[in-house]
Amino acid sequence: MNLGELRTVNQSLNIYQEVYIIGLQIVLICNINNNIIGGGLFMYVSMLNAKRKHQKQTGVDQKQNIKQRSNSAKQKENEVAHTSQIGYH
């Protein structure tokens, strides 16, 4: 990467950072002024965060359930194999 490209990247990052900060300021102003949106934006963002956390947790729970079922099936297979071996002796 040459110096010109580096400057362009830095300028882009600075612009993005300014836009992000302005966006945060607008959100804060809207939340402070309850007459504009009645706190709805804050509740909406909170709901999205809760939904995202729930989806992550649900995904973890599903993976654990699949693992437990797999282990349970293997254990049953081992028990059946062991029982059948006992029967042949």
Are residues 43 and 54 in contact, defined by beta-carbon separation less than 8 angstroms?
no
Question: pLDDT value at position 38?
Answer: 54
Residues 47 and 85 in one domain: yes
Q: Tell me the CB-side half-sphere exposure of residue 52, using CA atoms within 13 A.
A: 6
Q: Which residue has the higher pLDDT, 61 or 85?
A: 61
Residues 60 and 73 in one domain: yes
Residues 58 and 33 in one domain: no
User: Domain of 56?
Assistant: 39-89
Residues 7 and 17 in one domain: yes
Q: What is the pLDDT of residues 32-81, one digit of tens each?
A: 665 555 556 677 777 888 888 777 777 777 777 777 777 777 777 777 77
Residues 17 and 59 in one domain: no
Residues 13 and 54 in one domain: no
Residues 45 and 85 in one domain: yes
Residues 68 and 85 in one domain: yes
Question: pLDDT value at position 3?
Answer: 62
Residues 87 and 44 in one domain: yes
pTM to 2 decimals?
A: 0.29
For residue 60, count other CB atoms closer than 10 A to its CB.
10
Question: pLDDT value at position 77?
Answer: 76
Q: How many domains is the chain partitioned into structurally?
A: 2
Q: What is the pLDDT of residues 4-42, one digit of tens each?
A: 666 676 677 776 667 777 777 776 666 666 555 555 667
Q: Which residue has the higher pLDDT, 65 or 84?
A: 65
